[in-house]
A and B are shown apart, each in its own frame.
Chain A
Amino acid sequence: MATFFWEYYGGAGPAWTDMSTNTVVFASSLTDLTQPVTVGQYNDGTHMGNDDPGTDQCGANHANNIKYISSGQFQLNAGGSETLNSTNLAWNENTLRVRFTDASSVAITNARFYTYDGSTVTTEATGVVAWAWQCTPSGVNTWQLVNNPASGIGGDNSTERLTLLDQAASTEHHYYISVTATPTSVGAKTLFDFGVALTYS
Chain B
Amino acid sequence: MEKFQGWTATLSNGENVWETPPVPGERTAWQKLITRLGTENLIVTSLRVQRGRVTLHALPHKICEGYYQAYDQYLSLYTKEESLKQGCGAVVGDKVYIQWVDDNGNVWSDIRPFDTEKPHTTLRDT
Instruction: Report yes or no: B78 in contact with A171, Cβ–Cβ below 8 A.
Output: no
Instruction: Report yes or no: B77 in contact with A199, Cβ–Cβ below 8 A.
Output: no
Given A107-B120, A110-B116, A201-B71, do A6 and B28 touch, yes or no (CB 8 Å)? no
Chain B residue numbers with a CB within 8 Å of A196 are: 74-75
Instruction: Report yes or no: A1 in contact with B116, Cβ–Cβ below 8 A.
Output: no
Instruction: Report yes or no: A171 in contact with B25, Cβ–Cβ below 8 A.
Output: yes
Instruction: Report yes or no: A1 in contact with B84, Cβ–Cβ below 8 A.
Output: yes
For window 157-201 of A, CB contacts with B under 8 Å fall at 166, 169, 171, 193-201
Instruction: Report yes or no: B119 in contact with A198, Cβ–Cβ below 8 A.
Output: no
Could you tell me the distance between the alpha carbons of A107 and B73 in the complex, rounded to whole angstroms? 13
Instruction: Report yes or no: A193 in contact with B79, Cβ–Cβ below 8 A.
Output: yes
Within the complex, what minimum Cβ distance (angstroms) separates A127 from chain B?
15
Instruction: Report yes or no: B28 in contact with A195, Cβ–Cβ below 8 A.
Output: no
- Contact-size category for A: 20 to 34
Instruction: Report yes or no: A195 in contact with B74, Cβ–Cβ below 8 A.
Output: yes
Instruction: Report yes or no: B77 in contact with A23, Cβ–Cβ below 8 A.
Output: yes
Chain A residue numbers with a CB within 8 Å of B23 are: 103-104
Q: How many residue pairs bridge A and B at CB < 8 Å? A: 96
Within the complex, what minimum Cβ distance (angstroms) separates A189 from chain B?
11
Residue of B28, B78, B112 touching A193 (CB-CB under 8 A)? B78
B37 at the interface (CB under 8 A from A): no
Chain B residue numbers with a CB within 8 Å of A118 are: 76, 78-79
Chain B residue numbers with a CB within 8 Å of A2 are: 71, 73
Instruction: Report yes or no: B28 in contact with A104, Cβ–Cβ below 8 A.
Output: yes
Chain B residue numbers with a CB within 8 Å of A32 are: none
- Nearest A-chain residue to B116, judged by Cβ: A109
Within the complex, what minimum Cβ distance (angstroms) separates B30 from chain A?
5
B69 at the interface (CB under 8 A from A): yes
Residue of B30, B79, B82, B116 touching A201 (CB-CB under 8 A)? B30
Q: A6-B77, A23-B78, A199-B72 are in contact. List 18 more A-B contacts (CB 8 A).
A: A1-B73, A21-B80, A103-B25, A106-B31, A107-B31, A109-B70, A109-B116, A121-B74, A121-B76, A193-B77, A193-B79, A195-B75, A197-B74, A198-B74, A199-B120, A200-B73, A200-B120, A201-B119
